[in-house]
Every structure is written in structure tokens, then in C-alpha cells.
Amino acid sequence: MKSWWFTEDCYPHLPDQDSYRSIRVDLPNIHCEPETAHELYNRYLDLWCACDEIGLGIMLNEHHQTATCMVPAAPIMLGILARQTRDARLLILGNPLPNRNQPVRVAEEMALVDVISKGRVECGFVRSVPYEAAAANILPYQGSERMWEAHDLILKAWTTHDGPFNFEGKFYHHRQVNIWPRPYQQPHPPVWITMGSAGSAKPVAQHKHVGAVFLAGYPRIRDVFDGYRQGYLDAHGTHAPLDRLAYLGLCYIGENEKAAEEGARKLLWYMEANKVPAEWSNPPGYHPPPVAAQVMKGVTGSGVPTNPTLEEQMARGNVFAGTPDQVYEQIKAFWEYSGGFGHMLLMGQAGFLSDADALKSMKLYKAEVEPRLKELMANADPAELWEKSKAMPVKQGADLGNFGIEFVR
């Protein structure tokens, strides 16, 4: 099991939620005090650098116009970390390709950081969240199609070494593509893509990319992972290795149950603060019609509960919290139910959780949980795990509608 530590670099110092409509898109940036942001950025960078010393992989992502994530230019953060760390793998998950008008620029940025880091970049591509479609001036229903076309152009730019080529696509048209430098890793850095349904998982599997799922929980994880596994089996005639699949959940580990609960409740700010009206979370064409209809009826709202409880989210498989033994058992149960995966993505900082507490949790995970997860996975057979998973009764956990929908990055 490979473990990656993650924070969205939030800005939690906000007025009361009743004083604004949405934490995304239209929250006035007057609430972002530059001196406070400066301090937060450097704290988060220090925590990522601590991953290098502790032995965890580093994960970061990108969002726009939101206090939940102050990283509108993830390649810049990635470049800083490439220079400030020595050994940690650097996962960007990811580059919101549909929102980018210049995929060649993405290819250049990722190749540059890969060279600076001496081949430590893991490059993720995402469709992007619905809230950002309007600001990016794109048609929401074209997101997936734009992402895959940009993906093809970027991989071609990374792997073409005999001079310029031209690219003529439906959305992108480029002349004289000839990136300098080329990636350190050959033929290119490992590619990750986020998945939110069995249908979206199939092309990821066909390309043998790592497929990542964010906060789908027990209700949806098997559908997505099974879609990947079946797509991989159909395309390649063999079962997908466990290291082709990844899952992200919030995670906090304490020395005892009381400390763990206190830390986890602070971490839950990420869900509690995510207040978004339906017009931003459901732009026309972004969601499949059945899901869009649910949102319009108010069944799922923004996709993120504004009043979540820790108990509900733990039951659902979105939060893993407790002592090291308890967290191991929680992840193990979810891992077995899902049919297994090779990457654990740990959202370990949010809201007002202190750096000291975040570091304690990271160190406890590394010392007392990860070794047991590696042992669990060491001799696991993907085909057997899949069959055992399918034989397990369906487990819904806490019923909170389609919570995971908005986390299809």
C-alpha cells in the first residue's frame, strides 16, 4: 500500500456561514487577508515537506474561487515542493484539463517539474468540479470530451522526440508542438485520472492509468472500482493490479480515542464549511440527467452535506478516525469491501486543526498503520479479492444521498 498525504490548503478564517451564500465562486475575496494567507501557505508547505522526512507521498490539487482550496495554480506549488523535498513522490491530482485552453502548457509544466524533481512527479488529470465551469468559460457538458482530447495531446507532446508536430482536434489546435524539456521519466510520468462512475472508469482502465475515487464511501465504491476492473479485464485480458486503484478519505489518528475524536471533528470542517447553492453545483449538462434531476429536487443539494456528523461519515467510509488499531481495522474493512486498492490518499489537514496535531496523526499512521496495510496487500490476489468483494452484502453506511458526486475532480 502506497500512502499519500493531502491538504487542500483551506482558508478557514471566514465570517459566519449565514452571512454569505456560497463558499465557492462568489464569496468576496475581501475575506482573504493576504498576511493570513501568507502564513497558511507556508504552514501547509511545511507539512508537505514533513511528509518527505516521515516517508509519505505528497498529494496536492487545484481549485479556483474558493476558500476550501487556496491553490489556483497547483504546478507552482508542485515546483516549490520539487525543490524543497528529496525523496517523496509528488502527486498532483490534478490538472483540471477542460478548464485549460493550452494543454501543451500543462505538458511543459509537468515535464519541467519532473526534471527538477529527478523523476518524482505523478501527474493527475481531472474533469474539474461543476462550480468552476462558468468561471472557466467552458460548456459543462463538454468536460469529459475536452479532458480526454487534452490528455491525448499531452501524452503525444511528452513522447514525441523527433521534432515538432501539429495537432488538430475538436477543441484544441496547436502548431509546432515540441516541448523542452522532455520528462525525466520515460516514456512519461505516471498518469492518474479521477473517476465517479463505472462509465467514467472504463477509459481510465483502457489506458492502464491509476484510477482514483474521492469520498465515494461504501454506497458507491464498488460500482466505480468494479467498472474499472471490468474495463481493464476486457481491454487487456488480465485483472487490474491493485496499484491501479486509489481511494481518498479524511483521516485522523490519535494516541487515544478522545484525542482522535477531537482531531477528526476539526478535520470535518472541510465538509461542514462547503456551503454551495444548487446553481453552482448543477450547471446544465455537467451531471447525467438522473443526478441533475435529484439536485433540482433538492435531494442532493450541492452534493456535500452542510451538517454532517462524524459518526455518519465514518459509517459511510468517508472518514477514518481513531487509534492506530481502530483506523487500521476501518481501512481494512473498506479495502476488503471495495475489492482492494493500492493507494491510500489521506486528507489529513483542514479547518483549524493545528500543525502539531496533523503531524502527530501523520507519524502515527506511518509507524503503526501503513506497515500493516502493506502486509495486508503483500500477497493479495486481485482476482480473489474481487470475487470476495462481490460476494459481500451491499453496505450503504450512512445514507447521505450522492455525497461523492461533487468529488469527481
Q: What is the dihedral of CA 248, 254, 257, 263, to 10 degrees?
A: -70
| Beta-bridge partner residues of 32 | none
Specify the length of the chain in residues. 409
Domain boundaries, the chain: 2-407
What single DSSP character describes residue 240? P
Per-residue pLDDT of the chain (409 residues; tens, 9 = 90+): 999 999 999 999 999 999 999 999 999 999 999 999 999 999 999 999 999 999 999 999 999 999 999 999 999 999 999 999 999 999 999 899 999 899 999 999 999 999 999 999 999 999 988 888 888 888 888 899 999 999 999 999 999 999 999 999 999 999 999 999 999 999 999 999 999 999 999 999 999 999 999 999 999 999 999 999 999 999 999 999 999 999 999 999 999 999 999 999 999 999 999 888 888 888 888 888 887 887 777 655 334 455 789 999 999 999 999 999 999 999 999 999 999 999 999 999 999 999 999 999 999 999 999 999 999 999 899 999 999 999 999 987 644 333 333 333 3
Q: What is the pLDDT of residue 397?
A: 65
Q: What is the pLDDT of residue 306?
A: 54
Q: What is the pLDDT of residue 305?
A: 52
Check: CB of residue 218 under 8 Å from CB of residue 337: yes
Q: Is 213 helix (H, G, I), strand (E, B) or coil?
A: strand
d(CA 393, CA 400): 19
Check: CB of residue 399 under 8 Å from CB of residue 281: no
What is the CATH T-level fold of the domain 2-407, as seen in this structure?
A: TIM Barrel (3.20.20)
User: How buried is 134 (Cβ within 10 angstroms: 0-12 exposed, 13-18 middle, 19+ buried)?
Assistant: middle
Q: What is the pLDDT of residue 299?
A: 58
SS3 for 327-346 is HHHHHHHHHHHHCCCCEEEE
- Identify the H or E element spanning 261: helix 257-267
Task: Provide φ and ψ at 240, rounded to 5°.
Answer: -65, 130
Q: Is 400 helix (H, G, I), strand (E, B) or coil?
A: coil
Calculate ∠ Cα 292-401-64, nearest 5°: 60
CA–chain centroid gap for 409, Å, is 7
d(CA 9, CA 62): 10
What single DSSP character describes residue 286? T
User: Quick count: other Cβ atoms within 10 Å of Cβ 367?
Assistant: 13
User: Residue 402 is which amino acid?
Assistant: N
Q: Is 53 helix (H, G, I), strand (E, B) or coil?
A: helix
